[in-house]
Amino acid sequence: MNKQTLDKDSILKYQGQLNFEIIGHLLNSLKDETDARDIPLSHYKKILSVMIEILENVFKYNEYFEKSTYLFPTYSPFFSIEQFNGGYLLTSGNPILNKDIDKLQKHIDHINALDKEGLRQLFRTTLTNGEFSSKGGAGLGFIEMAKISGEKIEYLFTPIDETYSFYTCKVFISSKALNSD
């Protein structure tokens, strides 16, 4: 199931396969939607930065669930942006291997425990020393999202079966973060 729909408070909503080209289409859709709604450029830039990282996290993890076709369409990846309480809520969802939950949870908890200066320091340390692959940046994406958001990253793991859970990640760009420049 691939669909892109618009709701009243929704800026963008997508559920289906996520690959490099589809992420590109979604980024273009964000530009169209923010233009149509007269969303300020400074807001657009922050949404864009978080959107790239949250979607690339799902994309990078594709290989661990894409062959388990029984998961789809019920547990297909999804992504949404909603205008909410003066800010913007970005949500992603995808299947995750149960064995990977602990590591991810610890990584997000570690980031959530840091203040703005702590995040900057962790970003720089990870930038300089973090392990790196052709697909990703050693967890830099989560730090970047937390730096922009100004709020804690929320997550939820809903069990699917003995192998997988469904991982939901929510990043809220608050009005405070939007007006910080």
Binding-site size for other proteins (CB under 8 A) equals 33
Interacting positions 133-162 with other proteins (CB under 8 A):
133-138, 140-141, 143-144, 147-148
In eight-state DSSP terms, residue 131 is -
Contact call for residues 149 and 172 (beta carbons, < 8 A): yes
Site map (CB under 8 A) of other proteins, residues 53-92, x = contact = x--x------------------------------------
Among 8, 115, 128, 162, binds other proteins (CB under 8 A): 128
- In sequence order, the β-bridge partners of residue 179 are none
If the CB atoms of residues 95 and 139 are measured against other proteins, the closer one turns out to be: 139
Q: Which stretch binds other proteins (CB under 8 A): 76-84, 92-100, 131-139, 161-169?
A: 131-139
Tell whether residue 35 is a contact of other proteins (CB under 8 A): no
Tell whether residue 132 is a contact of other proteins (CB under 8 A): yes
Contact call for residues 56 and 141 (beta carbons, < 8 A): yes
What is the CB neighbour count within 10 angstroms for residue 112?
A: 15
Q: Pick from 6, 9, 176, 7: which is nearest to 84 by CA? A: 9
Please report how close the Cβ of residue 156 comes to other proteins at its closest, in angstroms. 23
> Cα–Cα distance between 149 and 87 in angstroms, integer?
10
Tell whether residue 40 is a contact of other proteins (CB under 8 A): yes
3 state DSSP class of 162: coil
Q: Pick from 63, 60, 78: which is nearest to 137 by CA? A: 60
Among 17, 29, 49, 112, binds other proteins (CB under 8 A): 49
What is the CB neighbour count within 10 angstroms for residue 169?
A: 22
> Cα–Cα distance between 12 and 27 in angstroms, integer?
10
Interface residue list for other proteins (CB under 8 A): 20, 24, 40-42, 45-46, 48-49, 52-53, 56, 120, 123-124, 127-128, 130, 132-138, 140-141, 143-144, 147-148, 180-181
